Structure 1
Amino acid sequence: MLGWLPYVGVAALFILAAIALTKRMGEEWAWVNRKIIHFSIAPAVLMFYYELIPTWIFSGAAFAFGAFQLWPHLRRKELRWYQIEHNYGEVFFAFSASAIPLILSQEYATALLLAMAVSDGVTGIIRHYYFRRHGFNVKLKKHWTGSLGYLITTAIIGLYLLDGGPIERIGWATVLMLAEYQPWLDDNLAVPVVGTLLLLFV
């Protein structure tokens, strides 16, 4: 009856290990640290996909993690090794991860969650190192190099998990890349919203 419990424990260990690692790296690496934490949910996503973790457990845990991360923002006492003042991206990420499995099919939810966790992590780290080398504020900038990394990784995810021809799946990745790049809405909200709306056209 509780056969999922060991898998939840393993998934939690990945996330806790990422938190411990990023805390040691410190505030200077906050932008990279939050991406490492993004990466750390990928094992949980895959366990959800292979039905080792039930939807309600995955969704509930993501919601709880979102609430845990929101609290320091509300108190103006951010966890500065990965939280950035006035930037709620990690909160939006967790709440989006909570909602997606509840409203989308398992396969599509997995693809979208992996795009958020892996592709967003890749693009953020690429941009961090690009702007760090060029002396800009990595907390505020986006660049085509990161978007290229996002497109490539999302295309791989789509080709592996989604139905349809290669052009359709690469098109899906391209639209998500544009949703991530646009400047008006936090990408942790824009990508799941746009990804869900894309279902209207298939």
Structure 2
Amino acid sequence: MLPEWAIYAGIALAFILGAIGLTKHLGPEWAWVNRKIIHFSIVPAVLMFYYGRIPAEVFSASAFLFGLFQLWPHIKRREFSWYQIEHNYGEVFFAFSASIISLVLPKGYATALLLAMAISDGVTGIVRHFYFKRHGFNVRLKKHWTGSLAYLLTAIGIAFLLLDTATLGKIGWAVILTLAEYQDWVDDNLAVPLAGSLLFLIFVVCYF
């Protein structure tokens, strides 16, 4: 008989694989939206992790393996064209970052950061996509205040639900993550988890 965590892990995996299958049917022309749909698909796994249905070690190992699974097509130069972009390793960074965050940060804080990476980043990407598409601009790799506003609002909501700090701290957390997502020097799938991890250290120092 399978352990309970394995059943929940299987359900979480089904959401992710289902999203990959769905986006494959949408095709490469929707690659930037497809990437965000796959971002959203990890939310059930994150919630199962938060409520203790999936142990941190299992979540971390699964995210790491998923990162390797996505890295391999890049190495072979045979990307999954419907959501992977040549020379853009964002989805790989996302998976590896999730692996580390879930293992080293406290569960509540890790969940908040993971949800910001999945939901806030997903929302901002889709808002930007349709904004630029509607105005006839090239969608790829463009940042815009409309997407950043969507990121900020969703990140604030996540902060108020999960972070145990003052109101100003919650808003500041969301603002800094939004800026980390918006900057162009470091891939946001690395910049956001790095900024979020540094903020956790600041919260700890200020608390004690």
Partner of 1:112: 113
1:46-85 equivalences in 2 (<5 Å) = 46-85=47-86
* Corresponding residue SS for 1:4: helix
C-alpha distance in structure 1 between counterparts of 2:74 and 2:100, whole Å = 21
The alpha carbon displacement at 1:14 in A equals 0.6
The residue number in structure 2 matching 1:159 is: 160
How far off is 1:63 after superposition? Answer: 0.5
Q: Which residue of 2 aligns with 1:24?
A: 25
AA of the residue aligned to 2:180: A
Structure 2: distance between partners of 1:99 and 1:165 = 26
- Looking at structure 2, the residues matched to 2 and 146 of structure 1 have their Cα atoms a distance apart, in angstroms, of 41
Q: Tell me, yes or no, if structure 1 residue 123 matches structure 2 residue 124.
A: yes
- Matched to 1:46, the amino acid is L
Counterpart-to-counterpart distance in 2, 1:75 and 1:4: 33
**What is the CA deviation profile of residues 71-118 of structure 1, one whole-angstrom value per residue up to 9, with x for unaligned ones?**
111111110000001110000000001110111000000000000000
Query: Structure 2: which 5+ runs fail to align?
Result: 204-208
Deviation, 1:34, is 0.5
TM superposition score normalised by structure 1:
0.98
CA distance in 1, matches of 2:196, 2:7: 31
Letter in 2 for 1:178: L
Separation in 1, partners of 2:189, 2:83: 16
Partner Cα distance (2:202, 2:65) in 1: 32
List alignment gaps of at least 5 residues for structure 1: none
Residue by residue over 1:35-89, the C-alpha shift from the partner in whole angstroms, topping out at 9 and shown as x without a partner, is 0000000000000000000111101110011001001111111100000011100
Map of 1:39 onto structure 2: 40
Paired amino acid for 2:28: E
* Aligned twin of 2:95: 94
Q: Distance in 2 between matches of 1:135 and 1:88?
A: 26
- What's the secondary structure of 1:174's corresponding residue? helix
Matches within 5 A, 1:128-147: 128-147=129-148
Structure 2: how far apart are the matches of 1:104 and 1:134?
41
Q: Which amino acid in 1 is paired with 2:66?
A: F
Paired AA for residue 121 in structure 2: D
Scaled by the length of structure 2, what TM-score is found? Answer: 0.95
Runs of 4+ in 1 over 4 A off after TM superposition: none
SS at 2:35 equivalent: helix
Structure 1 residue 166: deviation in Å? 1.5
- Give the letter for the 2:6 counterpart: L
Q: In terms of mean alpha carbon deviation, does 45-54 or 7-16 score higher? A: 7-16
Cα distance, 1:200 vs structure 2: 2.5
SS at match of 2:185: coil
CA RMSD of aligned residues (A): 0.9
